Structure 1
Amino acid sequence: MEAFVNNDLKEAFVIGDIHGMHTSLEEMLKNWKPDSQQLIFVGDYVDRGPNSAETLNLVRQLQLEHGAICLRGNHEEMFLAFLHNPISNWASYARNGGMETVAQLLGENKQTISQYSRIKLSRLLHEQHPWLEEWLSVLPYFVEFGDFVVVHAGLDLTLQDWRNTSSHDMVWIRQNFHEMANKTGKIIIFGHTPTMNLHHDWNATGIWHKDNKLGIDGGAVYGGSLLALEIDHHQVKKVYQVKV
């Protein structure tokens, strides 16, 4: 499922993984030019961070009011799986930061919600946030903007046509994408893997750039940076970094 951009806008502002770092997101948005730039998020709005509920609400507000493109990350995929089938999927989601997100959305602490059944948690979320499951279920997996493809985790570069990449790989792939030659003819912007891991240096929280692949998950939730790119249809014009 592909997102479609506002063709009247000649530039885009692409923001990396947020993971509930609401204050950093607000700071980053000061650099975005709403009248001339398509806003694109690479996914992973929630989990692990301190303000997932506020982040989710802000991202959705920007989508509704400014046409922001909100791509699907693996954490949105896990959240949706939990809402669809709480009994089977709660344990996995909770281990990956979902406990914090659910507690924040319900206005409770983690200790309190840990005493609730999985069915009750899902029911309360549906009651208090009736828009949530439907919103998550229609998040697109990628978007093209000129010479760029923006996707959460990456693409299957072994395929003759990158568009045939599975939805699972678009939100989960790592090493096979990072190390495979990019012959797509596109510049691929992605998040998912913190750039410190790609740089093999925990202090290197800036953009990772190799073979027309641009990694923009600066590991903000781990004390790194929130990253963003200002692009036109052909090139990166500016890199932004908000250090945590």
Structure 2
Amino acid sequence: MNRTLVIGDIHGGLRAIFQIFEKANVTTEDTLIFLGDYVDGWSESPEVIDFLIQLKETHRCVFLRGNHDDLLLSWLEEKKDNPQWFNHGGKITMEKYSLLSDEEKQPHIDFLKLLENYHLDDQNRLFIHAGFTNLNGVEYEYFPKMFYWERTLWENALSLDPKIEKDSPFYPKRFTLYKEIFIGHTPVTRVGETTPMNRANVWNMDTGAAFRGPLTILSVDTKKFWQSDPLPELYPEENGRN
């Protein structure tokens, strides 16, 4: 069975990846689409990147760029302190990477540089970390950082009145461009949920693994999903950090 599976924000939770792969019975026949934010939060960010580098040798993978991944790359390349990143999960990541040699860091830098800003499949399904702002679509986006920073796409989806028809002039044009849009970036735990949320044609896969929620993997075609245990249960020695 050839499945397309999409994975939400990992945030350094390697143990959660192992759990969801086992639960979903991931095989080399599956296509795996990762929505970004592989690092920051829990303590195994370098180990997550190592795992993903190895995974692409055996599986069909799409790796998208998250804002945390971009912040890590900037720090690794420029060696500049970033208080915003440091206070939002970067501290533990910085500590772990400081234990690595330059030779050990280089494959990670190469991996981060090759991350994609978005992925559009042959069924017109868009996979992107955060969103986009251009009303004509991702190919016309003036501000590429929006792909992994913006939140208005999800905010609009959450607030959209379901009574508004798609052909109405009041229906957001961004939602008409693609069959489905799969995002991460903004945890659904902000609205009290811990499972993937669907509003309009947008699926939010960030189920709060950076904090107290689980990591999720979902079949794009069937919408069946599998989840890890909440991350604090997988990292009890780190409780209180997030």
> Structure 1-normalised TM-score?
0.79
- Report if aligned partners of 1:15, 1:228 keep a CA contact under 8 Å in 2: yes
SS in 2 for 1:167: coil
- Report if aligned partners of 2:40, 2:210 keep a CA contact under 8 Å in 1: no
Provide the rounded CA distance (Å) in 1 between the counterparts of 2:138 and 2:63.
20
- Report if aligned partners of 2:28, 2:60 keep a CA contact under 8 Å in 1: no
Provide the rounded CA distance (Å) in 2 between the counterparts of 1:140 and 1:193.
19
Residue 196 of structure 1 deviates from its aligned partner by: 1.5
1:222 and 2:195 correspond: no
Provide the rounded CA distance (Å) in 2 between the counterparts of 1:237 and 1:213.
12
SS in 1 for 2:87: helix
Partner amino acid for 2:127? V
Which of 37, 50, 54 is the equivalent residue of 2:47? Answer: 54
- Report if aligned partners of 1:13, 1:32 keep a CA contact under 8 Å in 2: no
Residue 32 of structure 1 deviates from its aligned partner by: 4.3
Provide the rounded CA distance (Å) in 2 between the counterparts of 1:57 and 1:128.
10
SS in 2 for 1:68: strand
SS in 1 for 2:75: helix
Flag structure 2 segments of 5+ consecutive residues without an equivalent. Answer: 158-171, 231-242
Which of 37, 47, 51 is the equivalent residue of 1:44? Answer: 37
- Report if aligned partners of 1:126, 1:132 keep a CA contact under 8 Å in 2: no
Residue 125 of structure 1 deviates from its aligned partner by: 5.2
- Report if aligned partners of 1:162, 1:184 keep a CA contact under 8 Å in 2: no
1:161 and 2:137 correspond: yes
Q: Matched residues, percent identical?
A: 27
1:141 and 2:117 correspond: yes
Residue 42 of structure 1 deviates from its aligned partner by: 0.5
Where does residue 5 of structure 1 map in the other structure? none
1:171 and 2:157 correspond: no
Provide the rounded CA distance (Å) in 2 between the counterparts of 1:101 and 1:58.
16
1:240 and 2:226 correspond: yes
Aligned residues: 211
Which of 86, 101, 106 is the equivalent residue of 2:93? Answer: 101
Runs of 4+ in 1 over 6 A off after TM superposition: none
User: Map of 1:1-244 to 2, 5 A cutoff?
Assistant: 10-30=2-22, 31-87=24-80, 89-107=81-99, 126-145=102-121, 146-156=123-133, 158-165=134-141, 166-179=143-156, 181=172, 182-197=175-190, 200-201=191-192, 204-231=193-220, 235-244=221-230
Provide the rounded CA distance (Å) in 1 between the counterparts of 2:26 and 2:178.
28
Cα RMSD (Å): 2.0
Provide the rounded CA distance (Å) in 1 between the counterparts of 2:223 and 2:195.
16
CA change 1:125–1:67 in 2 (3 A) is farther
Flag structure 1 segments of 5+ consecutive residues without an equivalent. Answer: 1-8, 108-123
Provide the rounded CA distance (Å) in 2 between the counterparts of 1:83 and 1:171.
19
- Report if aligned partners of 2:49, 2:108 keep a CA contact under 8 Å in 1: no
Residue 77 of structure 1 deviates from its aligned partner by: 0.7
1:114-148 deviation digits (Å, cap 9, x = unpaired): xxxxxxxxxx6534322222221111111123242
CA change 1:126–1:164 in 2 (3 A) is farther
- Report if aligned partners of 1:106, 1:128 keep a CA contact under 8 Å in 2: no
Residue 207 of structure 1 deviates from its aligned partner by: 0.9
Residue 176 of structure 1 deviates from its aligned partner by: 4.5
